[in-house]
Amino acid sequence: MVHGPALRLDKWLWYARLARSRSAAQELCESRRLRVDGRVIDRSCARVRPGNVIAFADGDRVVAVRVEAIPDRRGPSAEAQRAYTALLPAAAPARAAPESARA
């Protein structure tokens, strides 16, 4: 049995501002597109704790974060970002080829 602070996954996603609404977080959890520590999640009531790794597809990019803290509320963005560490670099916008490469 694992001890320590824990929170429902849907609430954590909403508090950490990785989902726009609590219902969007619930839908993501139930879509089977989200993984916690490599385990496919199909219920929004799954518990997360500091140290868990959460990964899911968001459009054409993959979001992978490590849970660092369990927030008490859905606060401002700066506060929410302290709840996790991004494990993948943010997707860079596509750049046009240089003029010399076009011909």
Number of domains in the chain: 1
Residue 19 within any structural domain of the chain:
yes
Q: What is the pTM assigned to this prediction? A: 0.82
Q: Write down the pLDDT at residue 46.
A: 95
Q: What is the pLDDT of residues 11-45, one digit of tens each?
A: 999 999 999 999 999 999 999 999 999 999 999 99
Residue 16 within any structural domain of the chain:
yes
Residue 95 within any structural domain of the chain:
no
Residue 96 within any structural domain of the chain:
no
Residue 18 within any structural domain of the chain:
yes
Residue 21 within any structural domain of the chain:
yes
The DSSP line for 43-74 is: -TT-EE-TT-EEEEEETTEEEEEEE----SS-
Q: What is the pLDDT of residues 48-87, one digit of tens each?
A: 999 999 999 988 899 999 999 999 999 999 999 999 999 9
Residue 103 within any structural domain of the chain:
no
Q: Write down the pLDDT at residue 89.
A: 79
Greater model confidence, 102 or 17:
17
> Residue 7: helix, strand or coil by DSSP?
strand
Q: How buried is 95 (Cβ within 10 angstroms: 0-12 exposed, 13-18 middle, 19+ buried)?
A: exposed
On the CB side of 13, CA atoms within 13 Å amount to: 30
- Would you place residue 96 in the very low, low, confident or very high pLDDT band (cuts 50, 70, 90)? low
Q: Domain limits at 76?
A: 7-89
Q: Write down the pLDDT at residue 95.
A: 53
Residue 50 within any structural domain of the chain:
yes
CATH, residue 65: 3.10.290.10
